[in-house]
Structure 1
Amino acid sequence: MKKSISLEKIGFYVADSKFFKEFKQEYPEIESNSYLILKEWEIIRDSKDIKRDLSLLEQYEKEIGQPYLWNALVADRRIYFGKKYAYDQDYKPRFSHERMLSILQEGLKRIEVFFDEIQPSFIVSFQCNTIGDYLSYLFARARNIPILNLRPTRIRNYFYCGETVMEPSDHLQEMYEQFLKYGIDTSLKDEAAKYLQQVQKAHAMYEGVVLSSNKPPGMVNSKKKPFNLLKLKSLLDLLIGEYKFRFGEYRDDNHISSYIGHFVGQRIIRPWRARMMERRFRNLYVRSKDLPLLNYAFFPLHTEPEVTLSVYSKPYRNQIEAAR
């Protein structure tokens, strides 16, 4: 890619150490002198020992805040939520307020140096899920560097590029308003109608969607299976992963969750909750056949954590209050 489009300097902000390790085995050149790499887990690690400088944070906020730097922490579920974020609702932050400020300060300094070294002509990112995504967007905006933020359209497997990490895209909104004002080309209408027909006849699935099930959430097959060596290996992998998470190479990586916690959450806690909910509410559920007879307001909620709440719609992060 670098040769085909004649790029001079290429830099990557990487956030998941486990994935990066696996990627590096297949593409060892990623850590050659051809690329500059900024690793998020090193920012988290080094933030432990720095002295917080509130005046420095205030200076950064005036320069790039748009309007507050705290939003960069809120945007990252792995920092702002609890350690169990990947498999359970956990609203107690995994870091103290002081430590979050240290992470923010270290991230700002490292990303600023990263930008200074590369002098990028443009930035490419995917949605906005990490503190690095958000801070890179702020630096790019402050320096008038174009940003291409990839997002899934949820229509087949199409993607589009926004010019910020926010929704809606200015370009997309402009196109929508033009369609309202001047009408839609017949070929586009035909394409949309064709897609709707396909959805009505089949489904609206796209890559990344989990197949639906008739079982209550979290239900698993409880039928006992004979013990075998594969189970023993799985147990060993579980214990090794937990050790790496707590004491080893993953201890500073926010993208890695407790292996045992994840196992217990998925195999024990969620199935138990599903059974309890089914037992308690089975006679209280409103069935679809009853809806025409009722007066009701339909207020669909997001699963949490969710980028729509933490980045696009921060004032509505408390969905219960939003519904009230």
Structure 2
Amino acid sequence: MQPQDKIYIAGHRGMVGSAIKRRLETAGFTNFVTRTSAELDLRDQQAVEAFFIEEKPAYVFLAAAKVGGIMANNTYRGEFLYDNLMIQSNVIHQAYKTGVKKLMFLGSSCIYPKMAPQPLREEYLLTGLLEPTNEPYAIAKIAGIKMCDAYRAQYGCNFVSVMPTNLYGPNDSYDLNNSHVLPALLRKFHEAKINGHPEVVVWGTGTPKREFLHADDMADACFYLMQHYDEEGLVNIGTGEDISIGELAQLIQNITDYKGKLVFDHTKPDGTPRKLMNVSKLNSQGWKAKIGLEEGIKAVYKEHFS
């Protein structure tokens, strides 16, 4: 991938896509083609075909997706399945048809079976049942991985798949109903501090463990793998370390300097007990995460809330 090559980042305004764009710009890349969802509906097959014929990008980062937390995934099950299947199918197929040199498909750690052994290795894909609350989203992402592999096998396409762990960073969603746990907690604690609320309620028991990766680290890994990785299957992108939701809440309480009480609502769902990525494949490729969790959350809090 050379600085003059035309690069299409699908989903360039989201947390993932914008982080990839920033990383490429830092490396001297300038020839980007982007479209907002208002300008190009990636669910529209004809529109996507016309876009690829017109622009002919050489490299594609497929970071566009319909995303959300437990509540959103469980509520909009049909939308999460349909929208994501259409988005990725249209982009992957047109990348093949117009001769894209390389495409990177970004998935999510929820593709793994609910009760898969920890930490999650790439080969655990399709070895058991999925977490029911986000099954439609996971099914779509699994289909994307398999589509990249199928196009590689049948047409010789250089399409690769990466699975980032839970991400946080600039351009995250802080919507309390639809966002992921880390940004939702940041907003909850910040607002409780500002408004003088006596307590902050956190969903679940606080015992599930989660791994968190700063979006800039994720983008750095994607940039690295786009240049050095060319195989079927998938690569986990993560830190290889996790933290309980309870410990995360306490860390965020400290960072936001909230003095009230922390309460766990045991009537709310916990989701998967643990989701830790095995990142030995990524590390063996020559890449390791650099941004520590506390350092990363402090930076995000300062940037978004101060």
Q: TM-score range by the shorter chain?
A: 0.3 to 0.5
Which one has the bigger helix percentage? 1
Scaled by the length of structure 2, the TM-score of the pair is 0.33
- Max Rg structure: 1
Q: Relative to total residues, which structure has the larger strand share, 1 or 2?
A: 2
> Structure 1 length normalisation: TM-score?
0.31
